[in-house]
Structure 1
């Protein structure tokens, strides 16, 4: 299938960091979510995912839209007859203009809920996706196209489709809860880092493929970490434990961006000095490396995966740990990070010498090992 671009972008924490005032964490919301996590296939967000899937851009790009499986076939059979609707053409033009519009559209889906056939503003998420890197929008696109989106949902009978597939969505949620160990990861991270979080939400869709990212919202002394992820994989050629490790890695290396961020910034001067030789630390021939344009971004990508290796060492037996370590090293090399072996070994060594310290506190000694 022809691909216009490869979506392997893992956007760092605080994707929408300039939008914190666009959420409203009420006391009721805080009480209901403190110390908890949830996995959600949001109705309006799923509508937007489906609309994107039937655009010309979505149909020709199986990195942007997951095109395998029965659910995708159901989507195409049900909704492709409406692909010539004006709003679908508009969405396609936005995607052609910039791939970031995929995030602005789907990311703001959570700012509305259905009430009958109408979209009404969500009282918690007002305008959650305003800024990605240095790109900023000033109007919520769901608000801009609200009437046309409502009309598309009505014409295509979307709400009936969503209701029919609720049992399938429920299996996605339950599989996450059984196989991805979010609670265990959260507990380990807060034991090993100084950063703490109040709550987590995973926004999932069966139509998400390679574009996975994490960010945070902070309001009214409450911090919510969110992740946008595909469903948990269950590959037939892997054992149950291997599938668990694969799915844990996908989630963990998104979550821990939110913990690595603070100590990296606290040691930014050293990171910039020791990781300034980009040719050493990245393979520019690999597509996607450009998403990590400076030493801090490069270091953090190494660090998030190396911390996952630490987690595996603490959590699994020696065989699983060693196999996972080698798979991470191979994966990172394929992604354009050729020094993962050296980086991981240095972190493991530093951690073994200071097993009772927070990872934040071993940063200075760890970084000194990279002095030329």
Structure 2
């Protein structure tokens, strides 16, 4: 059974980005260890919380929220479902019934603690990492509230044994990310082609993540880190190796480049408002989820997010692969309600061809001029 599908769709395309109220502390030691580096992790505490959420009544009945396919999910059920009636699981289920945002507030705040033996110890760098989603803000970290209950559940369910037994599988997922989507390659291209600079990237993954994935940013002491919570890479047997690579790259890239397109969009807001003021020209109001793009700059940014991905593909793949990817993105965007994607990318290609050495930020005025014709 699937619930709140539109909400999940919006989260998967990265619209509900965490509010700028999250708290982090990046001291000199943290900055030295992480500057210019990316990491992909499946942390024990976060995996435990995903498991606990998966065996709630809500999680068991929502295959958008929880990836219920594959051997790993069956292993989770076999090991942990006997503990589904524990009070903390029922508490988590009651929170999910209030709002599915509590999925993020529970699992997203896993960063604020680390396992130290059987106990949870405060993380010195991530103080309150998931405080706000969309218009919902919480004042108390749920892990502060339920820390003892989570410790007790981990001990009773023998979580550490389960995690250790599946460590080779977690390592395989991480290695698959490195080879199948190549975050470093995308990051390097974005830093070269935009004026924005990000210090560090962290991908937090779980075999149980499905539709509820998102991106947030932490800033402290002049240091910027992007954290992405993502599912495993997809490997569709009907697609070629390169087609799977492009699909997985697009999922990641369209999360990452939100952090690069927004600054030049803000700088050109007046022109964007003018060009995109006729909303019916740019979006199909009947498309599911289009209401989440209520103003010109949000509409433009979604076009630009996928436009930048196509320019990345143009730079990194041959003409035939680019043409196929271009067509697929236009079809995808049209289905989502952005029916002018072909016009948008044609104008972006034209603007870049006229000034190939310019940063994409500097192409905005010409792009908007072409779109306004």
Secondary structure of the residue aligned to 2:227 is: strand
Q: Which whole-Å CA distance do the structure 2 matches of 1:63 and 1:334 have between them?
A: 20
Q: Distance in 2 between matches of 1:234 and 1:72?
A: 17
Contact 1:13 1:261 in 2 (8 A): no
2:5 paired residue number? 5
Equivalent position to 1:17, from 20, 28, 40: 20
Cα RMSD for the two superposed structures: 1.5
Is the 8 Å Cα contact of residues 12 and 257 (structure 1) preserved in structure 2? no
Map 1:203-242 onto structure 2 (within 5 A).
203-242=204-243
Matched residue, 1:325: 326
CA distance in 2, matches of 1:305, 1:345: 12
Shift of 1:277: 2.9
Q: Distance in 2 between matches of 1:85 and 1:317?
A: 55
Task: Name the SS for the 2:9 alignment partner.
Answer: coil
Aligned residue in 1 for 2:93: 92
Partner Cα distance (1:214, 1:71) in 2: 25
Distance apart, 1:16 and its partner CA: 3.3
Correspondence list, 1:241-320, <5 A? 241-320=242-321
What's 2:185 paired with?
Answer: 184
Alignment of 1:56-135 (within 5 A): 56-135=57-136
Question: In structure 2, do the counterparts of structure 1 residues 52 and 291 end up closer, same or farther at CA, with 3 Å as the change threshold?
Answer: farther
Where does 1:184-203 land on structure 2 (aligned, <5 Å)? 184-203=185-204
CA drift of 1:286 comes to: 2.7
Unaligned runs of 5+ in 1: none
C-alpha distance in 1, partners of 2:107/2:48?
9
Measured after TM superposition, the shift of residue 184 of structure 1 is 0.9
Q: CA deviation at 1:135?
A: 1.8
> Number of matched residues?
370
Moved more, 269-278 or 248-257: 269-278
Q: Where does residue 160 of structure 2 map in the other structure?
A: 159
> In 2 relative to 1, CA 276–59 (structure 1 residues): closer, same or farther, beyond 3 Å?
farther
Given that residues 16 and 131 in structure 1 are in contact (C-alpha distance below 8 angstroms), is that contact kept between their aligned partners in structure 2?
yes
Deviations for 1:174-200, whole angstroms, at most 9, x for unmatched residues? 111111111111111111100011110
Question: Aligned in 2, Cα 1:248/1:4: closer, same or farther, shift over 3 Å?
Answer: closer
Question: Residue 29 of structure 2 aligns with which residue?
Answer: 28
How far apart, CA to CA, are the structure 2 residues paired with 1:304 and 1:2? 28
Shift of the alpha carbon at 1:128? 0.8
Following superposition, the deviation at residue 14 of structure 1 comes to 5.5
The alignment's TM-score, normalised by the length of structure 2, stands at 0.95
Given that residues 105 and 142 in structure 2 are in contact (C-alpha distance below 8 angstroms), is that contact kept between their aligned partners in structure 1?
A: yes
Q: Which residue of 1 aligns with 2:40?
A: 39
Comparing 281-290 and 329-338, the one that deviates more: 281-290
How far apart, CA to CA, are the structure 2 residues paired with 1:368 and 1:109?
46
Distance 1:190 1:2 in 2: 38
Contact 1:54 1:76 in 2 (8 A): yes
Cα distance in 2 for residues equivalent to 1:13 and 1:54:
25
In the alignment, is the contact (CA less than 8 A) between 1:215 and 1:258 conserved in 2?
no
- How does the TM-score come out when normalised to structure 1? 0.96
The 2-side partners of 1:118 and 1:277 are apart by: 56
Structure 2 regions of 5+ residues with no counterpart?
Answer: none
CA distance in 2, matches of 1:274, 1:366: 11
Q: Is 1:371 matched with 2:357?
A: no
Kept after mapping to 2: 8 A contact 1:4/1:61: no
